[in-house]
């Protein structure tokens, strides 16, 4: 690797020319002037005590007491208090995840248990120890399918989360993969590396998935599998784990996962933890099947991912451990019940639900989305995610009580 050299004016000019720009200022023309900052306008230095008071006063400006019916990929779920107590222990809360088996048995065991739980929930044979998020998991599933099939065309449902599609487009463009979005699956799919669908889809609709004549990748809402059957036809299953003990946190951080059939395990990206026995016959944990770029030549690696969201994976593992199978299913059932209750009550007020069948998220049709949501917000309720001028995506979880649902109905 060449040493980094600061760009001189000549190099900067050539770089700008290559993208048809005449100056660096042209790069930022799309940013309105009102959004730019001439200088930081920092005040005078403050003492530690004064900084604490200042930060607290700024934090109070955040409106955090709204009743939330937001969805679209991030959900308000119940999180047992013990999760943060364990996850915030200094052994886990580190700047970088330790993997050395000599000193990291706790972390490695958590990764192994996480993988086991994901496999049990999804019905897959093997899982990795988390991805950055569901978007990158979807994109890596496509790269995985391309490597396996030796084909460079993929089919992706246009009802996938739009943010996931944007990430997929970037990955496909960089890897010269032909991306085809579809609304209805074509009859002939044998020329493609894989078909990627989301179920329930971004709009909450649960659909029957038929096996195509190529690999099938399914993006799932992991919490829905408490009451829905796992995608048995799938070759690869991906998703987000935010609903497993991870707060909404104004949109992040999240973590994803990718699981697959055993025959594809050497193509799965990210970290894999395995269990074995040490010299004394005691259980021991270590990273296994290490075909990531950190360990072998980059051009021979299955993926350039060389890390994972271990802390988020820990939260998910703790959540599933604490709630257990019964609690996991109960949370899924309550989420579905609350959403269907809200849909029925809205129908009684003449507000139509567009979904035929859904889990805990559905689309409603209104006269004016902005006015509808604004009215709810004035009553302390975030009523959903605007899709267009007449459609709103509404989600409910076990956190939405019957009283909150009634408040929603009374406010519209």
- CA of 412: how far to CAs of 350, 351, 384, 393, 397, in Å? 11, 10, 12, 15, 20
Please state, as a whole number, how many other Cβ atoms lie within 10 Å of the Cβ of residue 134.
29
Place of tokens 């992040």: 252
The Cα angle at residue 135 between residues 253 and 309, in degrees rounded to 5: 40
Sign of CA dihedral 182, 187, 191, 192: positive
Distance CA 196, CA 138 (A): 8
DSSP string across 263-311? GGGGG--S--EEEEE-TTS-EEEEE-S--BTTTS-GGG-SBS-----HH
Distance CA 97, CA 393 (A): 37
Cα first-last separation, the chain: 61
> Of 396, 364, 361, which Cα lies nearest the Cα of 381?
396
pLDDT in tens, 160-209: 999 999 999 999 999 999 999 999 999 999 999 999 999 999 999 999 88
Residue 351 φ then ψ, to 5°: -100, 115
pTM of model > 0.75: yes
The rounded average pLDDT for each run of 10 residues, N- to C-terminus, in the chain (412 residues) is 72 90 86 83 90 94 90 96 92 72 87 97 96 95 96 97 97 95 94 97 94 97 96 96 94 93 92 92 89 62 76 96 97 98 97 96 97 96 96 98 97 94
The answer to whether residues 186 and 155 touch, using CB atoms and an 8 Å cutoff, is yes
Distance CA 193, CA 259 (A): 17
User: Strand pairing of 381-382 and 361-365?
Assistant: unpaired
> Would you call 205 helix, strand, or coil by DSSP?
strand
Please state, as a whole number, how many other Cβ atoms lie within 10 Å of the Cβ of residue 301.
17
- As given in the structure block, the two tokens for residue 389 are 């001028």
- As given in the structure block, the two tokens for residue 190 are 């044998």
The answer to whether residues 174 and 136 touch, using CB atoms and an 8 Å cutoff, is no
pLDDT in tens, 308-338: 788 999 999 999 999 999 999 999 999 999 9
Largest CA distance in the chain: 70
* Three-state secondary structure string covering 307-371: CCCHHHHHHHHHHHHHHHHHHHHHHHHHHHHHHHHHHHHHHHCCCEECCCCECCEEEEECCCHHH
The residue ranges of DSSP E strands in 10-169, in sequence order, are 67-68, 126-127, 153-157
Please state, as a whole number, how many other Cβ atoms lie within 10 Å of the Cβ of residue 188.
9
Q: What is the pLDDT of residue 96?
A: 65
Distance CA 93, CA 106 (A): 12
User: Strand pairing of 385-386 and 391-395?
Assistant: antiparallel
Sign of CA dihedral 394, 395, 400, 405: positive
Residue-range domains of the chain with CATH: 67-79+324-411 (3.90.1150.10), 82-317 (3.40.640.10)
């Amino acid at each position: 690797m060449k040493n980094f050299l600061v760009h001189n004016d000549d190099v900067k000019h050539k770089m700008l020319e290559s993208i048809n720009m005449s100056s660096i200022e042209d790069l930022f023309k799309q940013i309105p002037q009102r959004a730019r900052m001439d200088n930081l306008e920092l005040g005078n230095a403050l003492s530690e005590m004064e900084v604490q008071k200042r930060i607290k006063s700024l934090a109070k400006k955040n409106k955090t007491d709204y009743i939330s019916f937001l969805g679209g990929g991030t959900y308000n779920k119940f999180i047992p208090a013990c999760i943060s107590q364990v996850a915030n222990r200094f052994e886990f809360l580190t700047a970088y995840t330790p993997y050395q088996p000599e000193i990291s048995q706790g972390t490695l065991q958590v990764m192994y248990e996480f993988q086991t739980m994901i496999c049990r929930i999804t019905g897959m044979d093997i899982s990795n120890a988390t991805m950055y998020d569901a978007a990158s998991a979807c994109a890596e599933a496509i790269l995985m399918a391309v490597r396996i099939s030796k084909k460079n065309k993929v089919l992706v449902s246009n009802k996938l989360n739009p943010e996931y599609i944007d990430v997929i487009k970037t990955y496909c463009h960089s890897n010269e993969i032909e991306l085809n979005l579809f609304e209805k699956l074509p009859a002939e799919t044998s020329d493609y590396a894989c078909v990627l669908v989301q179920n329930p889809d971004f709009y909450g609709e649960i659909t029957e998935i038929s096996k195509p004549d190529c690999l099938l990748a399914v993006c799932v809402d992991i919490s829905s599998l408490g009451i829905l059957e796992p995608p048995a036809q799938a070759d690869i299953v991906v998703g987000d784990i935010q609903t497993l003990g991870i707060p909404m946190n104004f949109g992040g951080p999240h973590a994803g996962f990718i699981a697959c059939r055993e025959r594809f395990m050497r193509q799965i990206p990210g970290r894999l933890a395995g269990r074995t026995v040490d010299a004394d016959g005691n259980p021991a944990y270590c990273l296994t099947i290490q075909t990531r770029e950190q360990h072998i030549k980059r051009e021979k690696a299955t993926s350039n991912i060389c890390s994972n969201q271990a802390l988020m994976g820990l939260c998910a593992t703790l959540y599933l451990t604490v709630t257990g199978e019964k609690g996991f299913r109960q949370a899924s059932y309550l989420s579905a019940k609350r959403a269907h209750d809200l849909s029925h009550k809205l129908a009684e007020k003449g507000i139509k639900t567009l979904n035929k069948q859904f889990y805990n998220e559905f689309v409603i049709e209104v006269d004016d989305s902005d006015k509808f949501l604004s009215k709810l917000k004035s009553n302390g309720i975030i009523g959903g995610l605007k899709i267009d001028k007449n459609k709103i995506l509404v989600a409910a979880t076990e956190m939405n009580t019957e009283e909150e649902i009634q408040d929603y109905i009374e406010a519209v």
